[in-house]
Amino acid sequence: MNKKNKPISPSTDIWVALDLEATGLDKNKDDIIEVGAVKFKGNETLDTFNTLVNTDIQLSDFIIQLTGINQKEVDQAPKWESIAPKLSKFVGDSGIICHNTKFDLEFLEAANLSFDNPVCDTWDMAYVLLPSESKYSLQALAERFNANHKSPHRALSDAIATQHVFQKLLRIAKQLDYETLNEMLRLSNRSNWVLGDLLNGLSIESEFSKAKNPANKNPERTISVLGIDEEALNKRLTTLSPLNPKDGYPLELSEIEEILSLNGALSKTLSAFEVRNEQIEMATAVAEAINSSSRLTVEAGTGVGKSLAYLIPGAIYALSHNKTVVISTNTINLQEQLLKNDVPKLHKALAKMNIDSQEDLKCTLLKGRSNYLCLERTARLHSAENLNDDEARMLAKIMIWLKNTKTGDREELNLGYQAARAPWNKLSSETALKCMHTGRPCFLKSARQRAEGSHLIITNHALVLSDMVMGGGLLPEYDVLIMDEAHHLEEEATKHLGFEISNRMIRDHLESISGNETSICNIFPRTFLTIQLNENIREKLFELHN
């Protein structure tokens, strides 16, 4: 059931930032041991509330160490029964802000104190408004905003930090345009998302501001169902013209060796460069393998500098022949290292030798379909009549992210804990295999077009193997493949050349075909009562169903 959002002004009404400390995480088994709250209006703090709570539960060593609260302090504190009425009076009908409202409000409800007030969650605010932030913990956000947080995991200190984080995030929220706020409000109205009350208030303020300042309107701006300007997004997507291969020259081994030598290009561009004989040996071996179109297996220990040992001959070959060289790794960390650390070094070295004076070498990172957002699937979910909280939150986050992203790559996002990130599976290009090409910007298509115009493609073993299985099409044509972290290749091949099936997977697919009463999962057992089957088959089917 959708809740009716109560109008409350985030700027002019009174809010109470609230935090609890407890003996554990289970509201049915654990007890509250401290309550902290701060009442404020705008940037003005009005009052505070703080008390320890007496409980019959013995504090664990972990809780004592985490909070700094000891057993004696709790034993001498007042009972919850005397605290609850005071806290209720302190909060009154003010809006309530928590960093994880589910924990705090459910603990209060389990202790027979319920509130029907407007609520707001600073975790959700940060998740949406700071889509790429690395951490959303209260402590991390307090550090980011230089908020006052003297005693983490003490209730009043956490409540004050929550207040300050809310005020900082509110400033960001107020910069959102009217259309974005309205779309986010529509998402909350089709779910029970905790930011509904805040969005309602912000939307009212934004509408008033828009009416007061009609000059802020931009009639030329085209807003899609996603609340974004898709035309502007399309212009941001970068593409490259496909490479036109040409007859090049074989790699000169002496040139490769010179780049890595004491007075070579790398030593002149990198202050901390040191000559490594193993690196030179590996680089020349790679060059020989490329020249002869042969296979080469290299075992390189730590400190050899293997990345540059294969990047240098690979890049020179790609530039001289205007062809693509594919570099495959097993981990995202190595992909990021190659792109952000090693490739810039490569550019400098090649420029020093006038091989890449205009930075003609094009390099791109290409990932599997599941890493890229599909705008068509996103628009479909965005238009759904009902949403769960995780879906509404994810869609709002993506609306903010789409204002800046050029790639649509999930790696740019912090998707949060498991339940929070679950909706991504409904939004990615993973299952958008029968794309209708609706004319919307396509991140996957853009990534593949960039790859077609790149000399170096950095990708992963999984995508290379999938391309091989499909007979090509996922990667541009290439005749040089360099596989780093190749000791993981067998594991990835087993994973991608085989298949996995489970009871849960089959049940999910069956349930997706129909719903509830008419579900195949419900009809299935009844149907087989009337069909004469081999007893062993029938037993297996019932076992699968159960």
Mean pLDDT lowest for which of 45-54, 72-81, 270-279?
A: 270-279
List pLDDT tens digits, range 402-415.
999 999 999 999 99
Of 391, 487, 406, 414, which is closest to residue 190 (Cα–Cα)? 391
Structure tokens belonging to residue 423 = 């909706």
Q: Residue 536 has what pLDDT?
A: 54
Q: Is the pLDDT of residue 357 over 60?
A: no
- What average pLDDT does range 328-356 have in this prediction? 86
pLDDT value at 3 more than 60: no
Mean pLDDT of the 276-305 span? 92
Lowest pLDDT segment from 89-103, 232-246, 294-308, 499-513? 499-513
What's the pLDDT score for residue 520?
54
As a whole number, the mean pLDDT across the chain is 86
Percent of the chain with pLDDT over 70: 87
* 262 vs 213, more confident: 262
Per-residue pLDDT at 23 = 96
Q: What confidence score (pLDDT) does residue 529 get? A: 44
d(CA 117, CA 15): 10
pLDDT of res. 371: 92
pLDDT at residue 451 tops 80: yes
pLDDT at 435: 67
Q: Residue 517: pLDDT above 90?
A: no
pLDDT of residue 270: 82
**What is the rounded CA–CA span in Å between residue 313 and residue 317?**
6
* pTM of the model as a whole: 0.82
For residue 44, the cross-strand partners are: 41
- Is it the case that residue 424 has pLDDT exceeding 60? yes
pLDDT for the residue 531: 46
pLDDT of residue 543: 55
Which part of the chain has CATH 3.30.420.10? 14-214
The two three-digit tokens of residue 262, written as one number: 């004491």
With H, G, I as helix, E, B as strand and everything else as coil, classify residue 139.
Answer: helix
Which numeric CATH code is attached to 14-214? 3.30.420.10
Which 3-state string (H, E, C) describes 53-79? CECCCCCCHHHHHHHCCCHHHHHCCCE
pLDDT exceeds 70 at position 482: yes
Local structure of 281: helix, strand or coil: helix
Per-residue pLDDT tens for 86-133?
Answer: 999 999 999 999 999 999 999 999 999 999 999 999 999 999 999 999
- Dist CA 370 CA 431 (whole Å): 8
pLDDT at position 61, please?
Answer: 95
Residues of CATH 3.40.50.300 domain(s) within the chain? 253-362+454-492
Identify the weakest region by mean pLDDT among 74-88, 100-114, 331-345.
Answer: 331-345
Taking residues 458-480, what's their average pLDDT? 89
Output phi, psi for 265, to 5 deg. Answer: -60, -40
At the top level of CATH, the class of 253-362+454-492 is: alpha beta
Which one, of 305, 262, 303, 259, lies nearest residue 282 by Cα? 305
Q: What is the mean pLDDT of residues 150-158?
A: 95
- Predicted confidence at residue 540, as pLDDT, reads 52
* Residue 533, pLDDT score: 46
